[in-house]
Amino acid sequence: MGMFSGKKGLITGVFNKQSIAWAIAERILQEGGECGFSYMPDKPDDERKKNLNRVQKLTEGIAGVKFLQPVDATNDDDIAAVMEKCRSEFGQIDFLLHSIAFAPPEDLRGATIATSRAGFKLAMEISAYSLMALSNAAQSVLADGASVLTLTYFGGEKCVPGYNVMGVCKAALDSIVKYLAFDLGPRGIRVNALSAGPLQTISGRGAGVDDMLTLYEGMAPLGRNITHEEAGNCGVFLLSDMSGGVTGEIMHVDAGYNAMGSPGRLLDRFRS
């Protein structure tokens, strides 16, 4: 019997094998859980259906994978449809993983102060509001005592140059976690966020992850960067019954980087 035997849930936002969402989902499946996956819809003119194919290649032949469904996070009909799919496939779900974020590249690369109005609205809608939209639509399918988890980053708590408008979105996301934890608490449904250190992911590369990896290795108390496996393990913990009693929290898995108030041992490199 695995930790997730008899548990069913929805995983959103898996893009490829480097996705933190996949690191979490893979462990859930290994532990006996059943998962439905939503993914970013392919463009109508994309005959190769690249987004679908990526997720299919990851999940093909794995026991416990029950469906793949495209979901546009800005479309309430798509969100309602995937919840109805969960209902028809599972009846109720025990966990929901939110791993959805986007900002127009031209706004993400530019100074935060220069973010366009349209870019800000889109980034906030997809990266923050989508957690509210998904959780609200899922209320009738979430079992009492279920767990909701989103993925955030330290750039929502402190200014991380290069993270720019996405940091503003993550700050909103972090706040949403706390308010949803209150709203859903009477049913025993927990809402938490996982704040992972930098990893080689699609999102990470867009935010200049290579420089951040060097910084974290030098500053973090453990003197190293984290692994996808470590992020996955913490995500599994927060989605499992083992974290009962934990809600409204932001769990940092960053080798302790967030605890530092100075460059720490990184200063040794500059001492003669």
Q: How many domains does the chain have?
A: 1
Task: Please indicate whether residue 122 or residue 207 has the higher confidence score (pLDDT).
Answer: 122
For the cut 70, the answer to whether the pLDDT of residue 256 exceeds it is yes
CA–CA distance, 38 with 98 (Å, rounded to integer): 10
CA–CA distance, 253 with 49 (Å, rounded to integer): 34
Q: For residue 267, tell me if it sits in a domain.
A: no
Domain assignment of residue 126, given as a range: 8-255
Please say if 129 is a catalytic residue: no
For the cut 80, the answer to whether the pLDDT of residue 152 exceeds it is yes
For the cut 80, the answer to whether the pLDDT of residue 207 exceeds it is no
pLDDT computed for residue 205 by the predictor = 55
Q: For residue 265, tell me if it sits in a domain.
A: no
pTM (two decimals): 0.95
Please state the rounded mean pLDDT for residues 41-63: 91
pLDDT-derived band at 201 (thresholds 50, 70, 90) equals low
Please state the rounded mean pLDDT for residues 238-242: 98
pLDDT computed for residue 210 by the predictor = 79
Domain of 147: which CATH number?
Answer: 3.40.50.720
- CB burial of 243-268 (b: ≥16 within 10 Å; e: otherwise) equals beeebebbbbbbbbbeeeeeebebee
Please say if 163 is a catalytic residue: yes
Q: For residue 167, tell me if it sits in a domain.
A: yes
For the cut 80, the answer to whether the pLDDT of residue 9 exceeds it is yes
pLDDT computed for residue 212 by the predictor = 87
Q: For residue 135, tell me if it sits in a domain.
A: yes
Active-site residue, selected from the candidate residues 39, 153, 216, 257: 153
Q: For residue 225, tell me if it sits in a domain.
A: yes
Q: For residue 262, tell me if it sits in a domain.
A: no
